[in-house]
Structure 1
């Protein structure tokens, strides 16, 4: 058996709007589009020009907001966030946007990403007198800003942001101003849109589609965009460095209908599937994808090989997020509750099961068993990305190297343990080709750290520190 460890969990998602009479309602809809990026908490802060109004709670968006809550969020400016706890525990105090009050006024901030020098900065700040109210790395920015002597928000940010190392897209809002920023490597996606005279910013463009906003452009690495009563303008807080947009955004994290740097996610995943078929073809009768993120790659694999694509696996969308699994037998039953194999499709067939990643191996093992229990003659596992051999330090909850299956087993050993008839992964070059982010073109590099162990930033605390980083 594979060891039981955590798998991949989503990022956080942020959404902001400046200058619209229905700011809170539109932010709610925008966050609904980003719900896949975080299910542990949701919040919205609005500004009426004189005061910030806050509502946030734990759980899904529909759990955090009840009837009438949006009516108590007046103003034409809003900042919203859905959270997955990549740094900091769950709990109300860590739900974003974080809200701070001082004699100078109020401040709200939201963050997607992970700061790898969080512990170092926190220790330094505490030694000089700071008292932290949360256990999330997002709060670091507020303390660094407060130590800057300028009264202007943009100058405080320009003094604080260069001290951060890691992945971050930040949105900071006061009663009179909103500023969004992206880390110098552009590790996280962040896009700018427009809805009439209002400006909109979101982690993914799918949020624009829901509210009818028009995509304008992506926020650039090292850029700050300022929104206030004078309009919108851009300035840099640091020079951009080698671009390193997270590859997992294309492979797994982002919604298929989003465009990241003008590359459609569904199209990229189809191309990954086609490239996988070129590298790892197999004689089979049917291709199926593991719902939901692998469907596009499975379709691409089927198109390239001319093997029919079928819905061999069905996802039950009404299973609770926290199904209790106190025993091995019930854990396996839990997989059956979430996924069902379609006997009429797979029985007696040689099946290609396409998935986007293997982190621990337990889920793949159980899906192979599901298919074989449903009568599949053979199950050939094809992964539309390279093996994950190193942890992510930038906001994806992959575990330490010791717990990553591909870092500790050969592909043949993994195949044998999961009971598959064959197992193949996409190559690094195949990943680059499939996504289409040719690093020779401007602004097109991508982070491959979890596949190669080569990270775009320094990792101050090293991998040892990651043991406590996932959900502090």
Structure 2
């Protein structure tokens, strides 16, 4: 299998060089079978999923005459997978792809960590792309290395390939089932052989995966928005614990894992997914607008205008405005053209902070009592910078309304979160956060309010929450065994 690398495989600036107060996206996966030049469709799908990972991307394809080929590159899809000279090296009717933000393994540039990963087995080659995080990867890796496995990357996802290699099952789909039964944590996997496209979700269904149809071909994607870009028909979501095997004979569905309660990541609704995607027949945009409605009901305030912190706070701000009756206004304008490689972030540039990314509409803000709606507060650094910008522009009062509960616990299922002691809500009460941020008021939506916004009329059922909300509640559906072994204290133990 050929492997084309970037000519400039060197360190990249951070994915958010001027904003360290956002949870970093996980990854995006995409696969196509049954279409000529499938890799071109994969490139389109990855472009639609770019918000899920901007660090690097890769595509693996198979052609009956030329075999497996791959391209892995640092940076944006548009910069790497739109050139004819690149896409001509990726022929064939089946391909998978991955966009990455590193959540496990080494940070920074390492081409060996860029997915999809490939393995050559006795019955043929296979490639996999993984969204999520394996919470027992350290233990698995130690066991595999002791038994002679030689790892090529620092990624937890590579464990799956090695487990497949050691399986005694007769074909690759069965080997994948066998391997994934050993894996703990969260995984949505898209994989391929010479003739089959496979998609698998973990038994809790933490990370998303959907199935689509395009002509005579089939598509697997992290989100429905990636189907829309190529006018593919949405067929259905892959169910928690389900594995689909797609070939010329059609789609075969199997359930190789013991059933477990569904725990879809509730933060997909709040922030990660694109607002034009949908889950469970409900648009992400409408859910975020409803979050704003619930936020206004729970936390009203006397103010003159409601402004989003762009772009992720926009739907919730619209909902807050509609419910409260306070006029909606674009008080902050986002620079749409500031890419990650805009400029080397020197100390002088860093001191400009978020002003390179966001700018206050001064004529609108001056003398006003402003409600700022944002999706989350992590460290609080950007919140303070935005507040200072509003005051500098002449705002009379600044009130923050946050479209998620306080983020007090780290995620171990595919989201890059700071250590717990660096999360503002882990060490401060809401009043202490307000004082620390020096804003007139600071209020978060309640966990019950968030559940109502996503369509659970009775709110959160404490005996069995319907979603994974561990970053807010500290209740992890799958014990993060590697972290516990290294000293992390779970909520029950801490209390």
TM band (smaller chain) = over 0.9
Q: Which deviations, in whole Å up to 9, do the C-alpha atoms of 1:201-260 show, x marking residues without a partner?
A: 100000111100111110011111001232211111113311111011000000000002
* Counterpart Cα distance in 1 of 2:465 and 2:89: 43
Quote how far apart the aligned CAs of 1:67 are.
Answer: 3.4
* Counterpart Cα distance in 2 of 1:437 and 1:456: 19
* Counterpart Cα distance in 2 of 1:421 and 1:142: 53
- Bigger drift between 39-48 and 65-74 goes to 65-74
Q: Count how many residue pairs are aligned between Structure 1 and Structure 2.
A: 461
* Counterpart Cα distance in 1 of 2:351 and 2:317: 24
Equivalent residue number for residue 53 of structure 1: 69
Q: Which deviations, in whole Å up to 9, do the C-alpha atoms of 1:80-114 show, x marking residues without a partner?
A: 11111111233211111112234542221100000
TM-score, normalised by the number of residues in structure 1: 0.94
- Bigger drift between 42-51 and 242-251 goes to 42-51
Unaligned runs of 5+ in 2: 1-18, 489-495
RMSD: 1.9
Does structure 2 conserve the Cα–Cα contact (< 8 Å) formed by 1:437 and 1:446? no
Equivalent residue number for residue 283 of structure 1: 302
Does structure 2 conserve the Cα–Cα contact (< 8 Å) formed by 1:170 and 1:181? yes
Equivalent residue number for residue 457 of structure 1: 478
Equivalent residue number for residue 16 of structure 2: none
Equivalent residue number for residue 40 of structure 2: 25
Quote how far apart the aligned CAs of 1:6 are.
Answer: 6.4
Equivalent of residue 215 in structure 2, options 190, 196, 203? 196
Asked if 1:147 corresponds to 2:162, the answer is no
Equivalent residue number for residue 132 of structure 1: 151
TM-score, normalised by the number of residues in structure 2: 0.90
* Counterpart Cα distance in 2 of 1:262 and 1:102: 39
Q: Which deviations, in whole Å up to 9, do the C-alpha atoms of 1:358-384 show, x marking residues without a partner?
A: 000000000011111111110000001
Quote how far apart the aligned CAs of 1:192 are.
Answer: 0.5
Quote how far apart the aligned CAs of 1:151 are.
Answer: 2.8
Quote how far apart the aligned CAs of 1:416 are.
Answer: 1.8
- Bigger drift between 269-278 and 413-422 goes to 413-422
Q: Structure 1 pair 346/95, CA: closer, same or farther in 2 (3 Å)?
A: same
SS of aligned partner of 2:259: coil
Asked if 1:73 corresponds to 2:103, the answer is no
Equivalent residue number for residue 63 of structure 1: 79
Does structure 1 conserve the Cα–Cα contact (< 8 Å) formed by 2:123 and 2:172? no
Equivalent residue number for residue 233 of structure 2: 214
SS of aligned partner of 2:84: coil
Quote how far apart the aligned CAs of 1:7 are.
Answer: 3.9
Does structure 2 conserve the Cα–Cα contact (< 8 Å) formed by 1:41 and 1:64? no
Equivalent residue number for residue 470 of structure 1: none
Asked if 1:229 corresponds to 2:248, the answer is yes
Equivalent residue number for residue 291 of structure 2: 272
Equivalent residue number for residue 87 of structure 1: 104
Asked if 1:248 corresponds to 2:267, the answer is yes
* Counterpart Cα distance in 1 of 2:445 and 2:122: 55
Does structure 1 conserve the Cα–Cα contact (< 8 Å) formed by 2:21 and 2:377? no
SS of aligned partner of 2:354: helix
Equivalent residue number for residue 447 of structure 1: 468
Quote how far apart the aligned CAs of 1:171 are.
Answer: 1.3
